[in-house]
Amino acid sequence: MQMRKLGRNGPVVSAVGLGCMGLSYGYGPATDTKEAIKLIRSAVERGVTFFDTAEVYGPFVNEEVVGEALAPFRDQVVIATKFGFAGGVTQRGMDSRPENIRQMTEAALKRLRTDRIDLLYQHRVDPNVPIEDVADTVKELIEQGKVKYFGLSEAGVETIRSAHAVQPVTALQSEYSLWWRKPEKDVLPVLEELGIGFVPFSPLGRGFLTGAINENTTFDSTDFRNVVPRFTPEARKANQVLVEALGRIAAQKQVTSAQIAIAWLLAQKPWIVPIPGTTKLHRLEENLGAASLELTSDDLRHIEDALAGITIEGARYPKSLQDRVSR
Write down the mean pLDDT value for the chain.
Answer: 95
The CA-atom distances, in angstroms, between 23 and each of 37, 71, 275, 277 are: 9, 18, 13, 8
Q: Which residues pair with 152 in a beta bridge?
A: 122, 172
Radius of gyration from C-alpha coordinates of the chain = 19
Single-letter amino acid, residue 20:
C
pLDDT of 65 above 90: yes
Instruction: Give residue 231's Cα distance to chain centre.
Output: 19
| CATH number of the domain enclosing 279 | 3.20.20.100
Residue 35 lies in a domain: yes
In the chain, the largest separation of any two C-alpha atoms, in whole Å, equals: 54
> What pLDDT is recorded for position 103?
97
Nearest Cα residue to 206 out of 228, 182, 181, 238: 228
Alpha-carbon span 129 to 132, nearest angstrom: 8
Instruction: Please indicate, yes or no, if residue 166 is contained in any of the structural domains.
Output: yes
In a domain, 108, yes or no: yes
The number of domains in the chain is 1
Q: State residue 318's pLDDT score.
A: 87
| Residue 164 falls inside a structural domain | yes
Residue 315 domain-assigned (yes or no)? no
Predicted local confidence at residue 160, as pLDDT: 98
Answer whether residue 185 is part of any domain. yes
Instruction: Indicate if 27 belongs to the active site.
Output: no
Residue 211 resides in a domain? no
Q: Could you give phi then psi for residue 171, rounded to 5 degrees?
A: -150, 145
Marked catalytic residue, from 25, 27, 57, 121: 57
Give dist(CA 270, CA 166) in Å, integer.
25
Burial of 50 (0-12, 13-18, 19+ CB in 10 A): buried
**Sequence-distant contacts of 235-243: CB under 8 A, at least 24 apart:** 235/313, 235/314, 236/208, 238/313, 238/314, 239/179, 239/208, 239/312, 239/313, 239/314, 240/214, 240/215, 241/310, 242/178, 242/179, 242/209, 242/307, 242/310, 242/312, 243/208, 243/209, 243/211
pLDDT the model gives residue 277: 97
pLDDT for residue 247 is more than 70: yes
Q: For residue 250, tell me if it sits in a domain.
A: no
Dihedral of the alpha carbons of 148, 38, 103, 28, in degrees to the nearest 10: 120
- Residue 244 pLDDT > 90: yes
At residue 323 the predicted structure's pLDDT band, cuts being 50, 70 and 90, is low
Q: pLDDT of 81-98, one tens digit each?
A: 999 999 999 999 999 999
Task: Provide the whole-model pTM.
Answer: 0.95
pLDDT beyond 90 at 325: no
Q: Is the pLDDT of residue 126 over 60?
A: yes
Q: What is the DSSP letter of 257?
A: H
pLDDT, one tens digit per residue, over 160-207 is 999 999 999 999 999 999 999 999 999 999 999 999 999 999 999 999
Question: What domain range is 89 assigned to?
Answer: 3-205+268-293
